[in-house]
Amino acid sequence: MLELLMALTITSPAFGNSGSIDVRHTCEGTDTSPELQWTGEPPETRSFAVIVDDPDAPDPKAPKMTWVHWVIYNIPATMHALPENSGKQGLPSGAKDGANDWKRGGYGGPCPPIGTHRYFFKLYALDTVLPDLGRPTKSQLLDAMQGHVLAEAQLIGTYKKKNP
């Protein structure tokens, strides 16, 4: 029998791919993390990781860095969503926060100083549960994930400050 494999996908009921992120998920709103949902992970998946970053910082016309908004790892393989505001109200049991570029754990929403920025919500399906990495940065998590990524997916949202 031919088995049909689905590709890993990540979506959010808060915004469509390349769509505008609602103000409540930003520094101008309540800064709550949007709900994220995913499907199509490989059967060997043992955990998930999520990285949210902005490659347009500080100015999309002259980007100089990628600003990291959220780092999470060891999301249980049985999970297929992160509820809205899980960046503040708590992650699923076993999941761990990394460090964002504000030097803290948890979600920090879009807060672009100028122009419309893109925010990449990246999901990784891993073949392992990572050891406790403390509060890893994005680069430390990517290093720890090397050789363990089974599939990845991304969702892009955009945001421009209403009151710059």
What's the order of all strands across the beta sheet hosting 65-76? 19-20, 149-159, 117-126, 47-57, 65-76, 96-97
Predicted confidence at residue 2, as pLDDT, reads 45
Tell me how many degrees the CA angle 68-73-75 measures, rounded to the nearest 5: 130
The pLDDT of 78-104, averaged and rounded, is: 94
96-114 pLDDT, tens digit each: 999 999 999 999 999 999 9
Count of other CB atoms within 10 angstroms of residue 75: 27
Predicted confidence at residue 5, as pLDDT, reads 56
d(CA 97, CA 78): 18
Contact at 8 Å (CB) between 141 and 48? no
d(CA 34, CA 103): 21
E strands, 3-64, in order? 9-11, 19-20, 36-39, 47-57
Count of other CB atoms within 10 angstroms of residue 45: 18
120-130 pLDDT, tens digit each: 999 999 999 99
pLDDT at residue 1 above 50?
no
Domains annotated on the chain, with CATH:
25-153 (3.90.280.10)
9-28 pLDDT, tens digit each: 999 999 999 999 999 999 99
Query: What global pTM score does this model have?
Result: 0.95
